[in-house]
Amino acid sequence: MIKRFVITLLLLNTFLFAKYVYINEDIITPIDVQKIEALGSELYEKTGISLYVAAVKKIDAKSYEEFIQNITKNLKKPYMLLFFSRDDYKVDFITSHRVKHLIDKTSVLIFYGPVIREFFTDKPYKYSSGLFKGYIYVADKVADIYHVKLLTNLGVINRTIYYLFKYTVYLSWIIVLSIFGLFLYRYYKKRQKS
């Protein structure tokens, strides 16, 4: 009974004070909501840009444009919005006019490419994971443009690990190719002497 009360209180606290998770129809997990809120607050403090996420089960309007217009009219400008609709199979990245030039919409949606497969499966936790990864990606890009470091951004750690792994693989290939080249050179020299 007490455990259920504590969980209910945590969920209520998370959803009542959510600012950057603008709409969440039980798609983003409470843990991811807290992380997004922390990252969104820090990003706004350091850049003045509000990065929102909206996750709905289905678009409840005559058209997609009307639905987005109703959402964006209440967002604090300048804003960026990651939008996801589960049943409509829709992922989008919307920005206010002032910050439209900062990040190319295509680059965000291409980033979603590998994640989109996860969005449309029967595993709901992957929706939350995909949106959180997208949020980190956009926050990271904005921070790079404004030359600020986000202490709450796990993307910095992930990016460091990614580059470390990437360059380790490159270095390994260079070593292997160098050894192979040295072997061929010695073999060639040996054949010339014979």
Q: Residue 103 in 3-state DSSP?
A: coil
Beta strands in 27-167 (DSSP E): 50-56, 79-85, 90-95
Q: Hey, what's the torsion of the CAs at 133, 131, 73, 58, to 10 degrees? A: 170
**Residues 135-158, mean pLDDT to the nearest whole number:** 79
pTM higher than the cut 0.85: no
Mean pLDDT of the chain: 79
Q: Which of 14-18, 111-115, 175-179 has the highest mean pLDDT?
A: 175-179
- Residue 72 has what pLDDT? 92
- Residue 42 has what pLDDT? 92
pLDDT at 44 over 80: yes
Distance of alpha carbon 187 from alpha carbon 71, whole angstroms:
70
- Residue 12 has what pLDDT? 40
Dihedral sign computed on CA atoms, order 134, 154, 51, 22: positive
Burial of 53 (0-12, 13-18, 19+ CB in 10 A): buried
Interval 18-27: pLDDT, tens: 689 999 988 8
DSSP state of 139: H
Strands 79-85 and 21-24: unpaired
CB within 8 Å of 72: residues ≥ 6 apart: 79, 81, 94, 96
- Residue 15 has what pLDDT? 41
Beta strands in the chain (DSSP E): 21-24, 50-56, 79-85, 90-95
Q: Residue 146 in 3-state DSSP?
A: coil
- Residue 5 has what pLDDT? 40
Distance of alpha carbon 64 from alpha carbon 66, whole angstroms:
5
**Residues 88-103, mean pLDDT to the nearest whole number:** 88
pLDDT at 47 over 90: yes
Distance of alpha carbon 116 from alpha carbon 111, whole angstroms:
9
Distance of alpha carbon 179 from alpha carbon 58, whole angstroms:
57
Give the position of tokens 């919409």. 105
- Band of pLDDT at residue 172, cut at 50, 70 and 90: confident
Q: Please tell me the least confidently modeled range out of 24-38, 47-61, 119-133, 166-180.
A: 119-133
Distance of alpha carbon 109 from alpha carbon 105, whole angstroms:
6
pLDDT at 136 over 90: no
